[in-house]
């Protein structure tokens, strides 16, 4: 194993904090939605596009993305206040990764579901596997 691999997988590696943000499912969806639009989106537009996300989860994801420099937040001094979110250059780089994950997921979803069904229907007498580990 090379030293970069050891560092990347080390508990002290700074990349772990970045990966933990990117590994959040709502983060992946927010980056994907923002990347598919040619203009900034308001909170309500984002929430409409990311089905199933709660207001709290979307707010938290946006704050984390803004903190990490992946999303820019622009507040306009209007009544009522208007706030828009858009990807930064760094966010566009990250969005390319999330798009690749989304594309892979769409391409392979049927295979994954088949594998799950096969596993779930399989015998429980395999080493390291018992009924308590089944979903």
pLDDT for 67-96, tens place per residue? 999 999 999 999 988 999 999 999 999 999
pLDDT for 33-60, tens place per residue? 999 998 999 999 999 999 999 999 999 9
| 69: helix, strand or coil | coil
CA distance 17 to 6: 16
Q: Which domains does the chain have, with CATH numbers?
A: 3-119 (1.10.10.10)
Angle between helices 25-35 and 15-22 (to 10 degrees): 70
Q: pLDDT exceeding 70 applies to what percent of the chain?
A: 87
Residue 2, pLDDT > 60, answer: no
CA distance 76 to 56: 22
């Amino acid at each position: 194993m090379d030293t970069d691999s050891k560092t990347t997988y080390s508990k002290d590696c700074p990349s772990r904090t970045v990966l933990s943000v990117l590994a959040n499912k709502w983060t992946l969806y927010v980056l994907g939605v923002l990347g598919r639009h040619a203009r900034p989106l308001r909170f309500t537009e984002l929430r409409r596009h990311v089905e199933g996300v709660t207001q709290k989860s979307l707010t938290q994801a946006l704050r984390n993305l803004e903190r990490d420099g992946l999303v820019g937040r622009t507040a306009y001094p209007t009544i009522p206040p208007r706030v828009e979110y858009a990807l930064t250059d760094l966010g566009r780089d990250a969005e390319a990764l999330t798009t690749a994950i989304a594309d892979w997921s769409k391409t392979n979803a049927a295979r994954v579901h088949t594998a799950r069904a096969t596993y779930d229907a399989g015998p429980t007498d395999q080493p390291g596997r018992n009924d308590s580990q089944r979903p």
